[in-house]
Amino acid sequence: MRTENGKYSTPYTRSLIKKYLKSIYNAIGKSPTFREVNNIPGPSSRTIIRHFGTWTKALKASGIRPRNNQLMKDEKVFIRQNWKEMTDKEIAKKLGLTIDVIKYYRMQYDLWKNRKGTSDQKHKKDGMKIYGKNCEICNISITELHHIVPKSTNINDWAILCPTCHSAITRKLVVVKNRNDLKTNLTPYIKSIHDNVRFNLMANLDNDNVST
């Protein structure tokens, strides 16, 4: 094919580009960047992006994981099918990723929601019917579902907590192994936190009065 300048150019197709990217990947042993491609004979990075929209889409279409460790489509399916039976560490090892990547995607609701109605969102609605809409400890209306027993589908192993009460457990500041521990362990700890907050506020007010 002759261009307007009289030079010949190769009519690249998506199929040819995918084979080209795959061959570069096999040659250098890692996901190629668009700068690396520009130094190798073949379609330019601009040509590749024009065909696929973005560099990441071109790599994924070629079966290559981008260097930012994004999950491939089949890997997302694998995680959705196994996240209840496997730990983050086991999934990361199976897919050859770091555990941080798996934890990041676990936080994305679109990835984890189950259209059959067994997701954490469905559990939270069911839990709120039993334990109320507000935090069971401090009565704050902004709440999250906590699994006292990890991944349990038993409503007796759930709790409706605000982000502060929830993080006290997840950060292991308080040990809660059952619902009784919510009252005996978590409640006193949260009360002490709120008491300290009020004390600090009063201290700040006293300092302001002194300064004036």
Where are the domains positioned within the chain? 14-61, 73-112, 120-211
Task: Report d(CA 132, CA 158) in Å as an integer.
Answer: 12
pTM over 0.95: no
Is pLDDT of 155 > 50?
Answer: yes
Angle, helices 14-28/45-52, rounded to nearest 10 degrees: 130
Return the amino acid letter for 107: M
pLDDT digits (tens, 9 = 90+) for 111-131: 555 444 445 667 888 889 999
Within 10 angstroms of residue 28's Cβ, the number of other Cβ atoms is 11
pLDDT at 157: 93
pLDDT, the chain, mean = 78
pLDDT at 13: 87
Q: Are 129 and 152 in contact (CB under 8 A)?
A: no
And the tokens for 148? 């006292």
Task: Report d(CA 11, CA 18) in Å as an integer.
Answer: 14
Q: Are 61 and 14 in contact (CB under 8 A)?
A: yes
Higher pLDDT, 179 or 195: 179
